[in-house]
Amino acid sequence: AKLNPTIFVIFGGTGDLNKRKLAPALYNLFIEGYMPDQFAIIGTGRTEYTDQGYKDALEDAVCAFSRTGKVKEKWDRFGNTLHYCATDFDQPQTFENLKSCIEKYQKEYGEGTQVIFYLAVAPSFFPVIAESLKKYKLTENEDNSRIIIEKPFGYDLETAKDLNSLLSTIFTEKQIYRIDHYLGKETVQNMMAFRFANAMFEPLWNRQYIDHIQISVTEQLGVQDRGGYYEGAGALRDMIQNHLLQLLCLVGMEAPISFDATEIRNRKVEVLKAVRPFSQEDIRFNTVRGQYSKGWVEGQEVLGYRQEKNVDPESNTETFAAAKFHIDNWRWQGVPFYLRTGKRLNQTSSLITIQFKDVPHQIFSGSATENWQQNRLIISIQPEMSIRMQVLAKRPGLNMVLNPVDMIFDYKGTYKNDSPEAYETLLLDAIMGDQTLFMRGDQVEAAWELVMPILNSWESKKSINFPNYHADSWGPEKAEALIARDGFHWFNLP
């Protein structure tokens, strides 16, 4: 479909997110012919740049971080759409300037031009920007103006509610796009196709056949240079409240009636509402937090969390979190969902593992089941993009011996083209006005509500023996114990 002319305003246009993700994503969309025929990108920031200076400043980054790399002639054309407007939020002049820059393109592009404001700045700037947009009447047309908000959406339930209510005085929900970039990942989007476009999984997708589910997002990297932000966040806020709970929603949701944003978001929020609230006892027994100490990664010594830049040497911020969740509804009663995430772990891998129950009666006995393993479905989100079904098969030979084999759907083997980056998908959806892959206000609040008791309890009990896992390990021993108690272990790809 023909897209409306679009003016894309990026607050934080000189920042890291723009360099690494937003500008490269817009550039790729442009190269592949998805951008509207008429569009302008206005970057803003505190530094002074001319348009040309800004274009030059972005060039290396965009070409390094985009999937397609540099295509000289395309870069030049894309570069011509980049503009710059210096901002200082204390100066009223800032929004005057921005407004006249926007109006210039509105005039040029004519009727139906839409303006998208992307807030890629620290959350403390959200209110002043949102309020100024209102004051300068930049958001009045509901159909043609949108705001995209990066995480973190709130620091806790209360601040998330405050932000939602502030935004709702300026925008309608239809105009607000809250980003959770996990939802833009190709493999994550495929979860719905896989579950609801096939007849063979959904009938088994419940407590009768599923034993438990694991959602694991492990990272080899440490906090890098983000200590300043991470100190006030920790793994629960940084990953579980948003990304992992979104994955839990996709695995746990009921079938939507149609592929429609409201419908899908309703089904997802229902999952969050059905999650059993954590009691003090649950927190004690069913949650684990950890923090990495120094260690060796591929022959190189790496710092412990407390030694990282901008981190308190006595910090109690967790860099690892694991918890056992329950969903109290008909489908999932009695099926535990184990979630874990952490930094400086042994592998970078995002996996959803569906562990099926054992067969009701085992006819193969003794040595025949030597390598006995139950059925598993493993959805690998990244870096490997695949879905594996583990089943038992007879090992060739004269004896009846079974062993597990994998049936694999591997993106690399199946599709020639690269998958788009999450931000490409999400930015294009925002341009097209499709909110399916964005978080609705009530969803964000429901997710905060779930993690608040854990956050509060962890914050009130400071006497913990951090650090409690080595860089390059699988996290604290207690995380193994959490799942081992129920007779399982964390599943990792070989």
Q: Which stretches of the chain bind ligand BG6, using CB under 6 A?
A: 151, 219, 238
219 appears as a binding residue in the annotation = yes
Residue 388: CB minimum distance to ligand BG6, A: 20
Q: What b-and-e string marks burial along 89-114, b requiring 16 or more CB atoms within 10 Å of the CB?
A: eeeeebbeebbebbeebbeebeeebb
- Cβ-based nearer residue to ligand BG6, 151 or 265: 151
**Rg of the chain on CA atoms, in Å:** 24
Residue 88 annotated as part of some ligand binding site: yes
- Nearer Cβ to ligand BG6 (238/282): 238
- Closest CB to ligand BG6 among 24 and 36? 24
Strands 6-11 and 337-342: unpaired
d(CA 481, CA 458): 19
Q: Which is nearer to ligand BG6, 133 or 215 (CB)?
A: 215
Nearer to ligand BG6 among residue 17 and residue 63 (C-beta): 17
Strand pairing category for 376-382 and 349-356: antiparallel
Of the pair 151, 268, the CB lying nearest ligand BG6 is at 151
> Which residue is nearest to ligand BG6, using beta carbons?
238
Residues in the chain: 494
- 151 known ligand binder: yes
Find all residues with CB under 8 Å of 284, minimum gap 6, and list them.
none
143 assigned ligand-binding residue: no
For 244, residues 6+ apart whose C-beta sits below 8 A from its C-beta are: 215, 217, 339, 341
Active site residue 470: no
Phi, psi dihedrals of residue 306, rounded to the nearest 5°:
-65, -15
Do the annotations mark residue 185 as ligand-binding? yes
* Nearest residue (CB) to ligand BG6, 82 versus 387: 387
**What gap in Å lies between CA 15 and CA 125, rounded to an integer?**
14
Q: 278 a known binding residue?
A: no
- Range list of β-strands (E), 198-346: 210-218, 287-290, 292-293, 295-297, 300-302, 320-325, 337-342
**Cα 488 to Cα 337: distance, rounded to the nearest angstrom:** 12
Q: What is the Cα–Cα distance from 194 to 387, expressed in whole angstroms?
A: 10
Residue 89, annotated as binding a ligand: yes
Task: Name residues whose C-beta falls within 8 Å of residue 429's C-beta, 6 or more positions apart in sequence.
Answer: 184, 435, 436, 437, 438
Least Cβ distance, residue 219 to ligand BG6 (angstroms): 6
Q: How many CA atoms lie within 13 A of 109 on its CB side?
A: 21
E strand or H helix at 376: strand 376-382
Catalytic residue among 83, 212, 243, 470: 243
Place of tokens 């830049």: 309
Write out the binding residues for NADP(+). Answer: 46, 88-89, 151
Binding site membership: which residues? 46, 88-89, 151, 181, 185, 219, 238, 343
Binding site per annotation, positions for substrate: 181, 185, 219, 238, 343
Active site residues: 243
